[in-house]
Structure 1
Amino acid sequence: MYRRLLKPALFRLDPEEAHHLTLRALAAASHLPAWPSLARTLTAPADPRLSQTLWGRAFASPVGLAAGLDKNAEAVPAFSALGFGFVEVGTVTPLAQPGNERPRLFRLPPDEALINRMGFNNVGVEAMHARLAALPARPAPVWVNIGKNKVTPNEEAVQDYLKCVRALQDVADAFVVNVSSPNTPGLRALQAAGDLAALVRAVLDEVEAGRVRTLNRPPVLVKLAPDLPPAGFEASVNAVLEAGADGLIVSNTTLSRDGLTHAHREEAGGLSGRPLTARSTELVRAAYRLTRGRVPIVGVGGIFTANDAYAKIRAGASLTEVYTALIYEGPGLPARLNRGLARLLTRDGFHHVTEAVGVEA
């Protein structure tokens, strides 16, 4: 039904208008009594081989929703109802900001890709806190992706990340430090090893300080870009490890335009979707080799099929995330990925998904 009816109708709309329309519908569905929990009984994987406990938290599936789709935590129950093992909201900044001028989101259908230059448009930490605090239950962990406001200079960026942690620690199941979006001027400079290590240590110190106040110690993960040169990527991974971060997300959107065919390929912004499939998997493998499995890795970029997700798991990802494929494939995608992963584990003789992590690294 999505491919035949809903997708053609949505793709006739401006991409951002279609996004807002869909999000409003999911937000409304999130408030239907009992619907999210009932729907999840049909979509969440029943196969215990897909479940994991990481950082003391249970994940029914290794497939999660990437940041950027539900920037303001408007529809967490509805996304959980689709069968995701976890949901990442944000990017959120201390103060609300409108983001970049429109148009700022572009579809590239022949390439199964999106280009965005949204610029961290969001409602700010206070509004997000109110929404997450009002959730009646959490069938899946909710991660919060945090960033700096556009007007905050890099030399003061650490304080923005700390403000996000202070405001949201009691409602976040994990924090994702976003230093890799290409759409906030100067942000990617924070990936330099020295700056990144200092930032991660400061965030971790703030989380530890907040543990007494909130009785919650969410893990801290760092999201890296796919455009770092090999030496820079290695230095950033090592800096994250040495600073004590709890995990890595590999990777964010890319500035590369290799192989694209659609006219929108010339638009500025970060590219996501099918063109990142192979590149992000190789980076997961590189990160797993560098970390030697010491921290969990989340693989994201171009996951459209169970084989795509499985390749990232075999390369070293304990968890995976999708975004662009959900736009192209529809709400049935998480359940299809879960079923497909279970079949692939059976095919290869694995008794649990953790046995497949890193076998090809």
Structure 2
Amino acid sequence: MIYPLLRKFFFALDAETAHGIGMAGVDFVNAAGVSCLLARSLPADPVRVMGLDFPNPVGLAAGLDKNGEHVDALAALGFGFIEVGTVTPRPQPGNPRPRLFRLTDRQAIINRMGFNNDGVEKLLANVSAAKFARWGGVLGINIGKNFDTPIARAADDYLFCLDRVYSAASYVAVNISSPNTTNLRELQRDDALDALLGSLKEAQARLADQHGKYVPLALKIAPDLEDQQIQAIADLLRQHRMDGVIATNTTLSRAGVEGQRHADEAGGLSGAPLLAMSTAVVGKLATALAGEVPIIGVGGIIKGADAAAKIAAGASLVQFYTGFIYRGPELVAEAAAAIAGRRAG
């Protein structure tokens, strides 16, 4: 019952300011050894996906901890895995503020952050200082391109980041679906995606030999795709033997938030209004992939039943970010219990 009280305080503040204070608070609670005041106990529900062992299938989506500064504190809340980033080769400030907006009545957020981060070297320093991965936790690192890198050279940025984060990551997520970096989603088109995946898989094979370990690669895609595009992406995922696909990122649609304050702000919409769209993409991918590539379902999870719906649609794991903002740590345990209950049933 603590988080609803804290949320009233946070929601009285500017959204980005509240985020910074909230993350500092999570760090403080963890350092004090009282994360149990926020977290609930979780059912044991181990699952093996992408060749990795997860203690439970509920993860934190990229975006909350862009620079990997809060990994241990977030892990103490019960997440089965943590994904940090999106990180780019060089530091960049992102888009001008304000760039993060709550649509409270719809349990939604619109953001146009623009891959603001301190760069890959800073993220690696933060991750190396964390105990989570060293103690066997599953840590995903989400990589992107700098805003001023021409789209024709985007692969250079992804390959640079992959090379740098490979040894520190349990898996690497390739983000080509943010709506807030100009032309980024063009990389989802057939020819561009085919070339990018080919380059990434070649680099992965080289790095696996170099480091003596295989680090899975997962592609993060948008929800705003036609059925033909979903099928084409699925075909390329299978052709290139990608290890996973994360479905989905935020949407450009404003369905379900029409007339709301901030609904006309530019950026990607996340939260409850995204649930049906993102879950439908999971289902279509599951059919097209026929079990050959595992799916991480993300988008619109606000309650346990939403997480279970992703699993029912064909996901092997789930992630959330906006739901965590609205519901707090109790959503981790609720989602884990709902998924475990569905498996048991």
| Fold-level similarity (TM above 0.5) | yes
| Paired amino acid for 2:84 | V
Q: Is the 8 A contact 2:40 2:329 kept in 1?
A: no
| Distance apart, 1:23 and its partner CA | 1.5
My pick for the range that moved more, 1-10 or 160-169, is 1-10
| Runs of 5+ consecutive residues of structure 2 not aligned to the other structure | none
Give the TM-score normalised by structure 2. 0.94
Within 5 Å, which residues of 2 pair with 1:187-266? Answer: 187-260=184-257, 261-266=259-264
Give the TM-score normalised by structure 1. 0.90
Q: Is the 8 A contact 1:182 1:255 kept in 2?
A: yes
| 3-state DSSP of counterpart to 2:296 | strand
| Paired amino acid for 1:306 | G
Q: Tell me the residue number matched to 2:92.
A: 97
| Distance apart, 1:243 and its partner CA | 1.9
Q: Tell me the residue number matched to 1:81.
A: 76
Q: CA RMSD in A?
A: 1.8
| Distance apart, 1:315 and its partner CA | 0.8
- Structure 1 residues 298, 137: closer, same or farther in 2, change over 3 A? closer
- Is 2:157 the counterpart of 1:160? yes
Q: Tell me the residue number matched to 1:355.
A: none
| 3-state DSSP of counterpart to 1:264 | coil
Please give the alpha-carbon distance, in whole angstroms, between the structure 1 residues aligned to 2:253 and 2:51.
37
Q: Is the 8 A contact 1:44 1:60 kept in 2?
A: no
| Runs of 5+ consecutive residues of structure 1 not aligned to the other structure | 349-361
Q: Is the 8 A contact 2:308 2:335 kept in 1?
A: no
Q: Is the 8 A contact 2:43 2:337 kept in 1?
A: no
| 3-state DSSP of counterpart to 2:253 | coil
| 3-state DSSP of counterpart to 1:263 | coil
| Distance apart, 1:202 and its partner CA | 1.0
Aligned length: 341
Q: Of 151, 169, 172, which residue of structure 2 is paired with 1:172?
A: 169
Q: Tell me the residue number matched to 2:329.
A: 331
| Distance apart, 1:28 and its partner CA | 4.0
| Distance apart, 1:234 and its partner CA | 1.6
- Structure 1 residues 44, 203: closer, same or farther in 2, change over 3 A? farther
- Structure 1 residues 191, 131: closer, same or farther in 2, change over 3 A? same
The one-character-per-residue Cα deviations of 1:227-274 (angstroms, maximum 9, x if unpaired) are 112212221221222122111111110000012141210000000000
| Distance apart, 1:174 and its partner CA | 0.5
| Paired amino acid for 1:18 | A
